[in-house]
Amino acid sequence: MNQLIQKVPIVSTFIHSTSYEDACDRIQYWVKNNISCYVVAANVHVVMMAYWQKAYKEIIDNSALVTADGMPLVWAMKLLGVKKQTRVYGPDLMLAWCDRAARLGIPIYLYGGKSTTLARLKHNLKQKFPALIIAGSHSPPFRPLTATEEAEDIERINAHGAKVVFVGLGCPKQEQWMARCQGKLSTVMIGVGAAFSFHSGEVSQAPRWLMKLGFEWLYRFMQEPKRLWRRYLINNPLFLILLALQLLRIKLNIFPFIKTDKIISSSGEH
């Protein structure tokens, strides 16, 4: 597979024009060819963190695939010319890949969350996908890992023979972890944020109609205002300002537009 893929700049971050089927096709290709790489499901928070932090931006830029996880990014891509772009939401991508993995017999691994969350998550996934092979799971401590602990986790995952690792550590921790593990884990890593909490049933997701309107952030903010107020009340308005400036620069023909890249190669290059 060497299908070209569009990369659309939003603020300072490139987002790939993809779909659930296309993303799963690419993951399957990487698994088949034993390519160690990682997938980022990007929302406004990810884009704004990349805007503020150069090191984090490099992590996003070095990923194999960056999906439009949030509706504001979908709308931004449409304004930037990708008219048929749809949302590729991390929790739904997780289910889409589990369905594909169950049919193909590709083992997965769950990394992140609390041990109780993982137990409920594994139960729910097996109920939904009886043929799914869950090779293993691990709940790392919430604090930063020591080098020894991280090496032990990598060895444990490789020993279980998983081909895809779902990483539920939250942003930016999960992207940083995946970047450090690239080349050390012989797997495809997919950062899925709060998907473990959602699919375990511990945290409720926003209604689908609210998601389509782009107000999922409000639902989550009402659930965890102390943790999320800065993300939504500062980052979101600033994102809109920066996007408006980007659209103005494009109109004045002083800003790069859409780029096209090949799928990641067996050498690990884009």
pLDDT at residue 211 greater than cutoff 90: no
Q: According to the model, what pLDDT value does residue 249 have? A: 87
pLDDT above 70 (res 265)? no
Q: Residue 264 — very low, low, confident or very high, per pLDDT cuts 50/70/90?
A: very low
Residue 59 has pLDDT above 90, yes or no: yes
More confident of the two residues 237 and 259: 237
Structure pTM? 0.88
Q: How many C-beta atoms lie closer than 10 Å to residue 147's C-beta?
A: 8
**Which candidate, 194, 193, 169, places its Cα nearest to that of 181?**
169
What is the band of 229 on the pLDDT scale with cuts at 50, 70, 90? low
CB atoms within 10 A of CB 143: 7
Does pLDDT of 269 surpass 50? Answer: no
pLDDT digits over 17-28, tens only?
A: 999 999 999 999
What are 267's two structure tokens?
């050498």
DSSP-derived 3-state class of residue 35: coil
Q: Does the structure show a pLDDT above 80 at 57?
A: yes
Q: Answer with the residue of higher pLDDT: 231 or 108.
A: 108
Instruction: Name the phi and psi angles at 7, rounded to 5.
Output: -120, 125
For residue 268, name the pLDDT band (cuts at 50, 70, 90): very low
* Residue-level pLDDT at 267: 35
Q: Is the pLDDT of residue 270 over 50?
A: no
